[in-house]
Structure 1
Amino acid sequence: MSVRLSVSGAAAEAVRTAVPALVADRVASGITAQDPALWGPAAEDEASKRLGWTEAVAISRPLVPEIYALRDELRAAGVDHIVLGGMGGSSLAPEVITRTTGAHLTVLDSTDPGQVLSALGDRLTTTAVVISSKSGSTVETDSQKRVYERAFTEAGIEPTSRIVIVTDPGSPLDESARAAGYRVFNADPNVGGRYSALTAFGLVPSGLAGVDISEILDEAETIELSLAVDTDDNPGLVLGAAIAATSPLRNKLAIVSDGTHIVGFADWAEQLIAESTGKDGTGLLPVVLETDAPELALGLADVQVVRLVSDAGEHLFRHDESGEIHVSGTLGAQLLLWEYATAVAGRLLGINPFDQPDVESAKIATRGLLDDRPEPAPAAFVSQGIEVRGTPDVIGASSDLVSAIDVLLDELPADGYLSVQAYVDRIALPQLEGLRAALAARAERPVTFGWGPRFLHSTGQFHKGGPAVGAFLQILTASSSDLDIPERPFTFGELITAQANGDAQVLAEHGRPVLSLTLTDPETGVGALFDALA
């Protein structure tokens, strides 16, 4: 088999308990047959149009020669640099595919003006841009398309020769792009964004960047049969039960890359699992961890460790005390495996794994702030060059940066988690990711880290729709540069600020504690943040 799993402890008990019932209910074959009734009457309408990913390998095969032909055409024209403008599922799958295979792809999944300017200034004359959006209404990708159209035009390059569109057939973007003469690839409309890794959304940017996408599909094909049959060793049923049927539920999934050849897989799985399951007050929260992460040594009762390893071994059940899940396998096979397992987890949790009811709330709040343009709320106080804002329960008991962080951590319940959300240029400030481990050591609770605004299309659903046990640390920068968006009344700087403020507003309305820190000088501000945690 192209994937292997092994389980022990509570995960093994969950498999022994839950899988026989899943087999008896013919869940695996039902998913493969696209039976929308598997998740209950409330989910049936959505599920009826969101199960196309089960046949993505077959549907995507005809795209491969078209993608290769375009790649050859671009290379013949001297184009050797591919940029991807996309968010959530449209960017995370191509990112893991290209990083794992060693192909270079510039992923522009940000509205930070510095990061957008950096991408625009990188080899424009030899660049092609893939704009990926199911509907085309995603504000981030629409904005990215607009600035690249202008940049190509100003450089004397016809935009239609350098911009490639990936979208659903009949979408507003599909119609406008075809009318304007752009090259368009359509994806299966019966696949949600986070399940789209093996569709045009995952394959077009990866293939243009130089990946052998036919091999990725071959890898996925090797596991299709084992995922479709109703047997006790079906890997999709086993993994779904191991992550979603522990009793009591271990609802924080600590995903650790520990020997796997796949690069960045946990970031892709994070969106798939969190956005699919985090709703109706329940869900599974993936926590992407380093091999030496503080959480791994704490023995937390609500944390299930999943290790992505080079070889999970020959036997499904391990006889050790770790209680961990080990998974190994090829990239294509694992993409399909985790999609099945997440659908199974949704059934076990009693939720609809195909909708995202709380994602829109942050988008609505952002649009409201962009339309009304209220004056920026004054900082509660400034400490070490950092403007401090937040919900009253956090700010009211704080007087400086150190005490504000202390109060936020005190807000964490016994089963809580902290979410760090960095609305910054992730290329310029990668060191911010180090805050995650430092905060976990202080809090002795799971800590997630997300780059804004991309996490809004990922864990953002869980933050509002999942259990109300999160506390939230926002990090923003006061950018010295900004960039206008053609034919839009706002700039990138105004957009990313509205996205951060809009999300903070929605979190506060849900009763979540929020601490928002704006670094007026990013370099010194990052140092001050680490000092505050020392």
Structure 2
Amino acid sequence: MIRMDTAGGLAVTTTVDASAALQTLTSAEVPAKLAAADAGLWGPDAAEEAAIRLGWIDTFTRSRSLVSTLDELRTRLRGEGLTRVVLAGMGGSSLAPEVICRTLDVPLTVLDTTDPGQVSAALAEDLAATVVVVSSKSGGTVETESIRRAYAQAFTDAGIKDVGKHFVVVTDPGSPLEQLGKAMNATVILADPNVGGRYSALTAFGLVPAALAGVNITDLLDEAAAFAASIPAEQPDNPALLLGAVLASRDTIAIADDGSGIVGLGDWAEQLIAESTGKDGKGVLPVVVESPVAPGLHGPGVLSSLVGGSKSSASGGSQLNAPDVAVNGPLGAQFLCWELATAYAGRLIGIDPFNQPNVTESKNNTKAILESGLDTETPDFTEGAIAVYGTNASTVVDALIELTGQVRSDGYLAIMAYLDREADSATAETRALLAELLQTPVTFGWGPRFLHSTGQFHKGGRPTGVFLQITGDSAADLEVPGRDYTFGGLQAAQAAGDRRALRDRQRPLLHLHLSDRDAGVAQLLAAAKELGES
């Protein structure tokens, strides 16, 4: 049986029988209550948090006030020669604008990293034409603040007199970053404080960088508004309700772009789903796969999903390779649909979809390690350019065999690379290689970016993960101005803090450190391929 629900130019098509879950939601009048921003939908323990986190339901209406402001700001910046937009942000502050600009083919440099090579490469590009959007709800995100400091120093060193005009700050009212932005003489834009970061795609966090880069954000808001009429609807023709019911039916969702327009939505949805549902030992694990034919899209317990159709009609988009669910429609509607679906799934799973109780743990570990110094660790062995920690094996191939052998049939492997996602991008090929071998879910995340998404699931979600961490020496380090650590030191501390959090939970963990990144990545890929051929 195939069911399709459509609204506002977006269609959710599925072969999954979600009738029981739909009945559970509609009999409790959940769609109407969510439309009314009822904070009690997720139980009394979640009500206080939900009461200040439901602004995303109609934020597309309030965000229209940003349109003229951002048009004027973009015109002024372009008139001053500031044509290159760099975004310094993490998690919800960076993922939505990245997918918006990738989908609409608008250039935007996203820095959600502490890798010294990646930061240095961005700093080397046309400073005179650069405006840096510094995005952080709290204003205390260490990655974002470090990049802000690096750019402020770089502008000063380049002889730029009015450094403040090269910055646009996006933050919540009353945050330390608001005061800092004003003190810098930067342009400060205040976001909606009643929207959590991962639900903020259609707030200032998603729209400011995209608009300054050249996106017509009115289209996104119109697309969301057209879809929003379906929010209180009883089934059928409530695509988000159908998607939420289907999402809660499986332990894992694999997401791929179907080639019909959307680019990179899986990375944004990964953060939304993992951080919202991965807690209390529960949750739906999101796995971003490279294409509709990539290993890992299908499998036992896996909900295969394809997304596409940035400008498609309700019936548009591809449904290659028989997915369990396809979500096709314009990007503004996609954002709202997945946010709603995640909230519905949270109700069915029985968790608070707005908190993130384990995200701060690795942050606190990082802070402690920066203050006390890295623990001394001796590798179990070194082979070529790879030092190996946490194994009884004596070769890289055997270490991978030992690790992957611990992945249960109901478990997953998480690959976590604290490297340069531009220069070391080939590292991501390990995901498909090991997914083909294991036939179980394999995720891939760039550190520290993933700490703000699947990092929550790793610690708080289903305790079935097995972990492969990859770190590497940098060819050259970079100071964090005004701090007693470097970007390389911060990156190493973040990786060590994450290892500590996983080891405290006795999660299986293999750590590979690359003394030479190019040689080490090549060696790792060769080992993964050998593993698959053995």
Structure 1 residue 255 corresponds to structure 2 residue 259: no
Alignment correspondent of 2:396: 401
Residues 374/101 of structure 1: CA separation in 2 closer, same or farther (3 Å cut): closer
Alignment correspondent of 1:491: 486
Paired AA for residue 99 in structure 1: R
Alpha-carbon RMSD across the aligned residues, in angstroms, is 1.7
Alignment correspondent of 1:474: 469
Task: Measure the CA separation in 2 of the matches of 1:387 and 1:481.
Answer: 19
SS in 2 for 1:67: helix
Task: Measure the CA separation in 2 of the matches of 1:179 and 1:79.
Answer: 21
Structure 1 residue 301: deviation in Å? 1.9
Structure 1 residue 288: deviation in Å? 0.8
Paired AA for residue 302 in structure 1: G
8 Å CA contact retained: 1:305, 1:324: yes
Alignment correspondent of 1:305: 304
Task: Measure the CA separation in 2 of the matches of 1:93 and 1:240.
Answer: 20
SS in 2 for 1:93: helix
SS in 1 for 2:37: coil
Residues 455/97 of structure 1: CA separation in 2 closer, same or farther (3 Å cut): same
Residues 62/117 of structure 1: CA separation in 2 closer, same or farther (3 Å cut): same
Structure 1 residue 294 corresponds to structure 2 residue 295: yes
Q: Which moved more, 1:107-116 or 1:426-435?
A: 426-435
Structure 1 residue 435 corresponds to structure 2 residue 442: no
Matches for 1:99-110 after TM superposition, within 5 Å: 99-110=102-113
Structure 1 residue 370 corresponds to structure 2 residue 370: yes
Residues 254/374 of structure 1: CA separation in 2 closer, same or farther (3 Å cut): closer
Task: Measure the CA separation in 1 of the matches of 2:31 and 2:272.
Answer: 19
Which whole-Å deviations, capped at 9, do the CAs of 1:158-177 have from their partners, x for residues lacking one?
22110110000011111222
Paired AA for residue 48 in structure 1: A
8 Å CA contact retained: 1:475, 1:517: yes
Paired AA for residue 453 in structure 1: P
User: Scaled by the length of structure 1, what TM-score is found?
Assistant: 0.94
SS in 2 for 1:294: coil
SS in 1 for 2:13: strand
Residues 321/150 of structure 1: CA separation in 2 closer, same or farther (3 Å cut): closer
Task: Measure the CA separation in 2 of the matches of 1:44 and 1:25.
Answer: 17
Residues 323/526 of structure 1: CA separation in 2 closer, same or farther (3 Å cut): closer
Paired AA for residue 292 in structure 1: V
8 Å CA contact retained: 1:19, 1:232: no
Alignment correspondent of 2:208: 204
Matches for 1:180-191 after TM superposition, within 5 Å: 180-191=184-195
Structure 1 residue 530 corresponds to structure 2 residue 534: no
Paired AA for residue 483 in structure 1: L
8 Å CA contact retained: 1:6, 1:312: no
Alignment correspondent of 1:21: 24
8 Å CA contact retained: 1:312, 1:327: no
Which whole-Å deviations, capped at 9, do the CAs of 1:241-273 have from their partners, x for residues lacking one?
0110x2xxx211011211330110111000000
Structure 1 residue 323: deviation in Å? 6.4
Q: Which moved more, 1:273-282 or 1:178-187?
A: 178-187
Task: Measure the CA separation in 2 of the matches of 1:57 and 1:323.
Answer: 30
Structure 1 residue 32: deviation in Å? 1.8
Matches for 1:80-229 after TM superposition, within 5 Å: 80-157=83-160, 158-229=162-233
Structure 1 residue 462 corresponds to structure 2 residue 457: yes
Structure 1 residue 51: deviation in Å? 0.3
Question: What stretches of structure 2 of length at least 5 have no aligned partner?
Answer: 1-7
Task: Measure the CA separation in 2 of the matches of 1:186 and 1:236.
Answer: 29
Task: Measure the CA separation in 2 of the matches of 1:417 and 1:51.
Answer: 32
Structure 1 residue 426 corresponds to structure 2 residue 421: yes
Structure 1 residue 147: deviation in Å? 0.7
Paired AA for residue 241 in structure 1: A
User: Scaled by the length of structure 2, what TM-score is found?
Assistant: 0.94
Which whole-Å deviations, capped at 9, do the CAs of 1:439-469 have from their partners, x for residues lacking one?
1122221111111100000100001111111
Which whole-Å deviations, capped at 9, do the CAs of 1:478-498 have from their partners, x for residues lacking one?
112111111111110000011
Task: Measure the CA separation in 1 of the matches of 2:208 and 2:283.
Answer: 31
Structure 1 residue 291: deviation in Å? 2.0
Quick one: which of 63, 72, 75 aligns to 1:72?
A: 75
Residues 432/374 of structure 1: CA separation in 2 closer, same or farther (3 Å cut): closer
Alignment correspondent of 1:39: 42
SS in 2 for 1:504: helix
- % of aligned pairs identical? 49
Structure 1 residue 322: deviation in Å? 4.8
Task: Measure the CA separation in 2 of the matches of 1:284 and 1:474.
Answer: 22
